[in-house]
Amino acid sequence: MIMTKDKQTLLSKIPSVDELLQNPITQKWDGSYPHILILDAIRSILERKREAILRNNDLKEGSIALSPDDILSEVETELITLSKLNLHSLINATGIIIHTNLGRSLLSDAAIKNVQDVAGNYTNLEFDVWEGKRGKRYSHVEEVLCRLTGGEAATVVNNNAAAVMLVLNTLALGKEVIVSRGELIEIGGSFRIPDVMERSGARLREVGATNKTHLKDYRDAVNSDTAVLLKVHTSNYKILGFTEEVSLNDLVELGKERGIPVIQDLGSGCFVDLKRYGIDDESTVQDSLRSGVDIVTFSGDKLLGGPQGGIIIGKKSYLDRIRENPLARAVRIDKMTLAGLEVTLREYFDEEKAIRNIPTLRMLCQTLEEIEKRAGRIVEGLQDIINEEVLDIRIKDGVSQSGGGALPLSNLRTKVVAVIPKEIKVTEFEKGLRENNPPVIVRIKDEEILLDPRTILDKDIEIIIEAVRRIGSELK
Ligand SMILES: *Cc1c(COP(=O)(O)O)cnc(C)c1O
């Protein structure tokens, strides 16, 4: 690039980093912003100035602000951005309850309280207070898990992917694991059953066809190298039509007959019979264990509604081996997770309490009337900005989703608040909501913004009203 003389002159007018650091404005920031961020912000704004000068071949006098005051005002804006937390809360108005991108399940108030207590105090994490000697990290939840599910033994790891990996590594290292082709699923891009199996050191033995697998397929595949019969919940999809899968009961029978453990990766794992609440026919963890399966694994933060974790429940002889696997240490859970998980699990001693207190269950079991009432509150708060020509807002029928690979086909009927901007693009309105503080995340369908009260917390209704009102009033 040819450097014109004007550009040279402009470049020479950019103040130096040192000069800006000495400026009284910058001096006043010391104490409010860390020095390292001040320095980075100054450097990044100066770099932007340099680039702007070099890129632009049609520079007019004064078109790029170079005075220390102007530059420092931009630096301050940058500093505010740099000082914001990267991970922060937001409002989920999408109606997708276990939204993977938005952090899956929320903890109950009691669980949050316990996480806080355990995080800020010394605890008996690995100390037996009665005996005055070393205790076990996992003992805090094992008994509760067994009492709730009827399992013999239980342990918990970092997440369900780790649970599957650890179980297979313990029981099938260098040996074969038989799985139906219809269950070789991928979840959320990074978890694929075949890949996890391979990394666990087990060899995958696929049986059956994508749509049909018969008991005979498993039976024929069993050989002296078979270590595990694995059943995987297909989570985020269902094979419909001309299909057949082998029931857990039949697989357990075959396992017993041949002396091979049967493992079920339940994915979501639910303790409550959701049929009773008019939601899908999802079998529970208790159902699985009752059928005699040797081990089940599932997530802590899907339908269970707790913190991220991978729960392993089953026969004591296997659990003892799993706990002793050195990999268990590499995927162990931390004390804050245990604190949140124990309280979440204890809520299930009283099912009604669990549904009232655990946000995931509460959202799932919310009645249509309740949802409509909450939608009404939002529309009411926006009555005065509704304008046929500019911004229409009304309540419509809609569908929520459980998300998290749970209940893939259950369509949860809901009532949404549809916001229909007439003068600007719906995507622009959506961007406005997304850039709100806190951000409001919504769904767009047919040129309408849909706010689903099912996943909106009561405390956030006012914030949403304010955000829509602000963006809406800018349209007038
Ligand atoms: C979600 C899911 C997993 C992974 O669980 P994470 O807790 O996300 O690690 C594994 N298997 C199945 C069937 C799942 O649905």
Residue 104 lies in a domain: no
CB 38 within 8 A of CB 79: yes
Q: Examine the domain organization and report whether 19 and 138 are in the same domain.
A: no
Residue environment code for 337-369, b if the CB has 16+ CB neighbours within 10 A, otherwise e: bbbbbbbbbbbbeeeeebbebbbbbbbbbbeee
Report the C-alpha gap between 184 and 233 in whole angstroms: 10
The owner of tokens 């899956």 is 104
Residue 103 lies in a domain: no
Q: Examine the domain organization and report whether 378 and 342 are in the same domain.
A: no
476 pLDDT more than 80: no
pLDDT (tens digit, 9 = 90+) per residue, 130-176? Answer: 999 999 999 999 999 999 999 999 999 999 999 999 999 999 999 99
69 CA from centroid of ligand 1 (Å): 53
pLDDT band for position 474 (50/70/90)?
Answer: confident
CATH code of the domain covering residue 439: 3.90.1150.180
Q: Examine the domain organization and report whether 194 and 222 are in the same domain.
A: yes
231 CA from centroid of ligand 1 (Å): 13
Ligand 1 lined by 282 (C-beta under 6 Å): no
Span 308-313, mean pLDDT? 98
CB 313 within 8 A of CB 296: yes
| Residue from 99, 100, 101, 160 to probe ligand 1 pocket by mutation (most atoms less than 8 Å from CB) | 160
Q: Examine the domain organization and report whether 10 and 114 are in the same domain.
A: no
Write down the pLDDT at residue 196.
87
Q: Examine the domain organization and report whether 270 and 390 are in the same domain.
A: no
Query: Which segments within 37-152 are labelled E, that is strand?
Result: 91-92, 96-98, 127-128, 133-134
Q: Which residue has the higher pLDDT, 374 or 4?
A: 374
Atom of ligand 1 nearest to the CA of 268: 15
Contacts of 50 (CB under 8 A, 6+ apart): 11, 14
Report the C-alpha gap between 269 and 105 in whole angstroms: 13
Range of the domain at 60: 5-83
Report the C-alpha gap between 370 and 454 in whole angstroms: 9
Write down the pLDDT at residue 180.
95
Write down the pLDDT at residue 2.
55
Report the C-alpha gap between 426 and 82 in whole angstroms: 29
The structure tokens listed for 211 are 């749509």
The owner of tokens 């655990």 is 358
Span 307-311, mean pLDDT? 98
Report the C-alpha gap between 61 and 339 in whole angstroms: 62
Ligand 1 lined by 235 (C-beta under 6 Å): yes
Atom of ligand 1 nearest to the CA of 301: 7
189 pLDDT more than 70: no
Count of beta carbons in the 10 Å neighbourhood of residue 259: 7
Q: Which of 357, 386, 411 is the endpoint of a domain?
A: 357
The structure tokens listed for 206 are 């696929």
pLDDT (tens digit, 9 = 90+) per residue, 248-291? Answer: 999 999 999 999 999 999 999 999 999 888 887 788 999 999 99
Point out the least confidently predicted range of 83-87, 108-112, 243-247: 243-247
Q: Examine the domain organization and report whether 182 and 312 are in the same domain.
A: yes
Write down the pLDDT at residue 61.
63
**Encoded amino acid at 458, one letter:** D
Q: Examine the domain organization and report whether 132 and 237 are in the same domain.
A: yes
Residue 74 lies in a domain: yes
pLDDT band for position 102 (50/70/90)?
Answer: very high
CB 148 within 8 A of CB 271: yes
Report the C-alpha gap between 204 and 198 in whole angstroms: 7
Q: Examine the domain organization and report whether 338 and 379 are in the same domain.
A: no
Write down the pLDDT at residue 350.
97
Q: Examine the domain organization and report whether 140 and 202 are in the same domain.
A: yes
Mean pLDDT of the chain: 93
Atom of ligand 1 nearest to the CA of 308: 7
Q: How many domains does the chain have?
A: 3
| Residue from 179, 263, 299 to probe ligand 1 pocket by mutation (most atoms less than 8 Å from CB) | 299
Residue 415 lies in a domain: yes
Indicate the helix (H) or strand (E) that contains 267. strand 262-267
Residue 184 lies in a domain: yes
pLDDT (tens digit, 9 = 90+) per residue, 426-462? Answer: 999 999 999 999 999 999 999 999 999 999 999 999 9
Q: Examine the domain organization and report whether 121 and 182 are in the same domain.
A: yes
Write down the pLDDT at residue 409.
61
Q: Examine the domain organization and report whether 137 and 210 are in the same domain.
A: yes
Q: Which of 333, 357, 381 is the endpoint of a domain?
A: 357
Write down the pLDDT at residue 144.
97
pLDDT (tens digit, 9 = 90+) per residue, 54-91? Answer: 888 777 666 788 999 999 999 999 999 999 999 999 99
Nearest-CA residue for ligand 1 atom 3 is 267
Write down the pLDDT at residue 197.
87
Report the C-alpha gap between 414 and 398 in whole angstroms: 5
Residue 26 lies in a domain: yes
31 CA from centroid of ligand 1 (Å): 45
Residue 468 lies in a domain: yes
CATH code of the domain covering residue 298: 3.40.640.10
Residue 251 lies in a domain: yes
Span 38-52, mean pLDDT? 95
pLDDT band for position 178 (50/70/90)?
Answer: very high
pLDDT (tens digit, 9 = 90+) per residue, 311-327? Answer: 999 999 999 999 999 99
48 pLDDT more than 90: yes
Nearest-CA residue for ligand 1 atom 2 is 267
3 pLDDT more than 70: no
Write down the pLDDT at residue 387.
87
Q: Examine the domain organization and report whether 237 and 320 are in the same domain.
A: yes
CB 415 within 8 A of CB 373: no
Q: Which of 307, 333, 357 is the endpoint of a domain?
A: 357
Write down the pLDDT at residue 12.
92
Dihedral angle over CA of 108, 109, 111, 114, nearest 10: 170
CB 210 within 8 A of CB 158: no
Percent of the chain scored above 70 by pLDDT?
A: 96
pLDDT (tens digit, 9 = 90+) per residue, 382-411? Answer: 999 998 888 999 999 999 999 887 676 677
